[in-house]
Amino acid sequence: METITIIGTGLIGTSLGMALRKQGHFVVGFDRSEKNLEEAKKLNAFDATSHPCLPSGKSSNQANCLPARQVLQSSIVILATPVDTIIEIIPFVLDNMSSDAVLIDIGSTKKAICQKVRNHAKRNAFVAAHPMAGSETTGPQAAKPNLFVNKRVVICEPELSSQAALSKAIELFEEIGLDHIFLAPEEHDSTVALISHLPQVLAFAFASLPQFENNDFQNWSKVASSGFDSSTRLALSTPGIWMPILLQNKDCLINALRLLTQNIELFTYSLLDENTSTLIAQMERARKTRVRFEEEQAKTNQPKELTILTK
């Protein structure tokens, strides 16, 4: 049994708390949001919670409001806050950990976070990770203990983590159902820009079209069905969560947006010219992309037996 501190009790942090408690660990949740902590308590996601714990995210000296004693007492500390807050507090957490403790971040960007601690004296105690799991709904009320089952976690720069830290992180991930894959921070950020951040921006862009507020289309919500549903589901996401992610990964995201713009223009001009061969070729390419995704999902969604620990 490990004593694990999770800093950030939103959807991911609370889901982690639920999953890790099921595995027999003693889990402490920290958050500056009293609302999140109250919701997490109702869900029994943590053995203990504390408030306040996080800085405002603007001044590095405010990181001292994170209780150093709890960090020192934990064998594993997990940062599950928005990525801008991770950047803010990660040096302080490393500074205050015991010599044999492990720090894991689970932020949705990796390059900026890895750069922040690359020269830190305790860099080898840090494991940079990103579980590829989530939901369009946010907050602890959306948390699920099985959120990570049959999902993958990306681990970056494993060569900079000690073997002990890396092994402990991988063991923890496997306990809650995650398979791991190693990627360089740059490859991670460019990949998630394409398969995660771009779809998010597309949902925001589509659902924010002014026509949805135009009187000429006042009946759109009565007519909209599955196509609208599947293409705008991510528009329910909270802007406050996504803004730091988009800004930290803006270069990769802008490249993805430019590629998409080129593809949309190809569709537009092909339609104008009634160039059916090009249109069909693009649609067939799209189908192959979706088929490949579904085949990969079928492989990873095989039932797993999770190792159950006892306290």
CB 93 within 8 A of CB 30: no
Q: For 177, left (φ over 0), alpha (ψ -120 to 50), or beta?
A: left
| pLDDT at residue 62 is higher than 60 | no
What span, in angstroms and rounded, lies between the C-alpha atoms of 73 and 154?
27
Q: How far apart are the first and last CA of the chain?
A: 6
| pLDDT at residue 305 is higher than 60 | no
Per DSSP, 96 falls in state H
Query: How does pLDDT run across 164-216, given as a tens digit for each residue?
Result: 999 999 999 999 999 999 999 999 999 999 999 999 999 999 999 999 998 88
| pLDDT at residue 311 is higher than 70 | no
**Nearest Cα residue to 174 out of 23, 293, 47:** 23
Alpha helix segments (H runs only) across the chain: 11-22, 34-42, 68-73, 83-96, 111-117, 163-175, 185-192, 198-207, 220-223, 226-232, 239-248, 250-272, 276-300
Sequence-separated (6 or more) residues with CB below 8 Å from residue 55: 62, 63, 65, 66, 85, 88, 89
What span, in angstroms and rounded, lies between the C-alpha atoms of 218 and 25?
52
Token pair recorded at residue 309 = 């620990």
What span, in angstroms and rounded, lies between the C-alpha atoms of 202 and 136?
14
Token pair recorded at residue 283 = 């649609």
| pLDDT at residue 59 is higher than 90 | no
Query: How does pLDDT run across 211-246, given as a tens digit for each residue?
Result: 999 888 989 999 999 999 999 999 999 898 899 999
Give me the amino acid identity at 112. A
Per DSSP, 119 falls in state T
What span, in angstroms and rounded, lies between the C-alpha atoms of 107 and 78?
10
Query: How does pLDDT run across 11-34, given as a tens digit for each residue?
Result: 999 999 999 999 999 999 998 888
Predicted TM-score of the model (pTM)? 0.87
Token pair recorded at residue 65 = 């409001």
Query: How does pLDDT run across 244-295, given as a tens digit for each residue?
Result: 999 999 999 999 999 999 999 999 999 999 999 999 999 999 999 999 999 9
Sequence-separated (6 or more) residues with CB below 8 Å from residue 306: 23, 149, 175, 176, 177
pLDDT of residue 309: 37
What span, in angstroms and rounded, lies between the C-alpha atoms of 7 and 235?
26
What span, in angstroms and rounded, lies between the C-alpha atoms of 207 and 201?
10
Find the range with the poorest average confidence among 2-6, 46-50, 79-83: 46-50
Cα 140 to Cα 52, 73, 134, 230, 242: the distances in Å are 17, 25, 12, 24, 17
